[in-house]
Amino acid sequence: MTEIAMQLEGVACGYGARTVLANVDLSIPRGKLFCLLGPNGVGKTTLFKTMLRLLPLQRGVIRIGGEDVARWSDARFAKTVAYVPQAHTPPFPFSVIDVVSIGRAAHLGPFAAPGASDLAVARQALETLAIGHLAERPYTEISGGERQLALIARALAQQPEILVMDEPTASLDFGHQIRVLDHVCELTRRSKLTVVMTSHDPNQALRHAQSVATLGRNGAVFVGCPSAAITENYLFDTYGVRTQRVAVPGSRGVIVPAQQD
Ligand SMILES: Nc1ncnc2c1ncn2[C@@H]1O[C@H](COP(=O)(O)OP(=O)(O)OP(=O)(O)O)[C@@H](O)[C@H]1O
């Protein structure tokens, strides 16, 4: 039986009196990569922020390991769940290694500074993503893609059980897109890390995810294996484009725009 890392039951989320998604039920399997697909503005980030307790839950329950997280302390939640937000512009010129070391905060006592072992974990996270050479550079003076990689390194340095990533590869070059997702997939197998991410690329979900949730324009959620969830009908209904899946040996295939006559 599949073990569930995170469960959403009848979740409603939104801003103030406005509800963006009204009734979401999701079971996110432990030790797998779970990808949420959906059009712009449908509510993916809003749902993630609610799952991360950054927005108040309007209705429903969110469980981790079967426990209602509303009862968890912030410290326990921070040790368990790491978040890679969409790339942002930082206010202060911290060095990259300082930014990544912030990921260790959840493991330190109050007011404690990162020690040598924490810095080693942070450096390892940078090396893993092939950006060790940026360690001493000011975070404000690196490229958008490099900043995105640093935020992923910060989340990896946190050594969470659940890694939530909102469009983690949006500003990454082709090679980094594949390497970052290959690496987190490897962590799902090796360390039973659970990865929950959004993407605008159905091929990314096909290649890397074991489970996919598709959000329709009406807020309807379908969850299944990538091949069952990412159908030509879903892509047409959601994005208004005709596609076809082309068979590629050794993979789940590749989705391409359908030929226009
Ligand atoms: N801070 C906010 N206050 C009020 N409404 C917001 C806020 N942020 C987003 N929204 C609205 O909530 C809805 C869902 O936005 P959200 O950012 O969750 O969409 P998304 O699916 O992540 O989109 P995208 O793929 O474009 O990133 C949109 O209508 C958006 O305009």
Complex ipTM > 0.95: yes
The total of structural domains in the chain comes to: 1
Question: CB 67: neighbour CB atoms within 10 A?
Answer: 12
pLDDT score of 90: 67
pLDDT digits (tens, 9 = 90+) for 217-240: 888 899 999 999 999 999 999 999
C-alpha of residue 59 to centroid of ligand 1, in Å: 18
CATH number at residue 140: 3.40.50.300
Per-residue CA distances from 150 to 142, 153, 161 (Å): 10, 5, 19
Q: Whose CA is nearest to atom 7 of ligand 1?
A: 15
Pocket flag, ligand 1, residue 40 (CB < 6 Å): yes
pLDDT score of 85: 87
3-state secondary structure the chain: CCCEEEEEEEEEEEECCEEEEEEEEEEEECCCEEEEECCCCCCHHHHHHHHCCCCCCCEEEEEECCEEHHHCCHHHHHHHEEEECCCCCCCCCCEHHHHHHHHHHHHCCCCCCCCHHHHHHHHHHHHHCCCHHHCCCEHHHCCHHHHHHHHHHHHHHCCCCEEEECCCCCCCCHHHHHHHHHHHHHHHHHHCCEEEEEECCHHHHHHHCCEEEEECCCCCEEEECHHHHCCHHHHHHHHCCCEEEECCCCCCCEEEECCCC
> What are φ and ψ of residue 120, in 5° steps?
-65, -40
Query: Tokens 């469980």, residue?
Result: 63
- The CA distance from 135 to 149, in Å, is 12
- The CA distance from 139 to 101, in Å, is 13
* Contact by Cβ (8 Å): 184, 82: no
pLDDT digits (tens, 9 = 90+) for 78-101: 999 999 988 666 667 899 999 999
C-alpha of residue 133 to centroid of ligand 1, in Å: 35
Q: Whose CA is nearest to atom 2 of ligand 1?
A: 15
Pocket flag, ligand 1, residue 36 (CB < 6 Å): no
* Contact by Cβ (8 Å): 129, 153: yes
Pocket flag, ligand 1, residue 49 (CB < 6 Å): no
For ligand 1, what atom is nearest to the CA of residue 38? Answer: 21
Q: What is the mean pLDDT of each run of 10 residues along the chain (261 residues)?
A: 90 96 95 96 95 96 96 93 81 88 83 84 93 94 90 93 94 90 91 94 94 91 94 93 92 89 66
Domain that holds residue 158: 4-257
Q: Whose CA is nearest to atom 28 of ligand 1?
A: 41
* CB-facing half-sphere around the CA of 8: CA atoms within 13 A: 24
* Contact by Cβ (8 Å): 9, 63: yes
- The CA distance from 162 to 146, in Å, is 23
* Contact by Cβ (8 Å): 251, 227: no
pLDDT score of 108: 77
Ligand 1 mutation target, pool 46, 54, 83, most atoms within 8 A of CB: 46
Query: Tokens 């000011």, residue?
Result: 138
pLDDT score of 259: 77
- The CA distance from 259 to 261, in Å, is 6
- The CA distance from 254 to 205, in Å, is 10
C-alpha of residue 41 to centroid of ligand 1, in Å: 5
Q: Whose CA is nearest to atom 14 of ligand 1?
A: 43
Pocket flag, ligand 1, residue 45 (CB < 6 Å): yes
Angle between helix 174-191 and helix 144-157 axes, rounded to 10 deg: 10
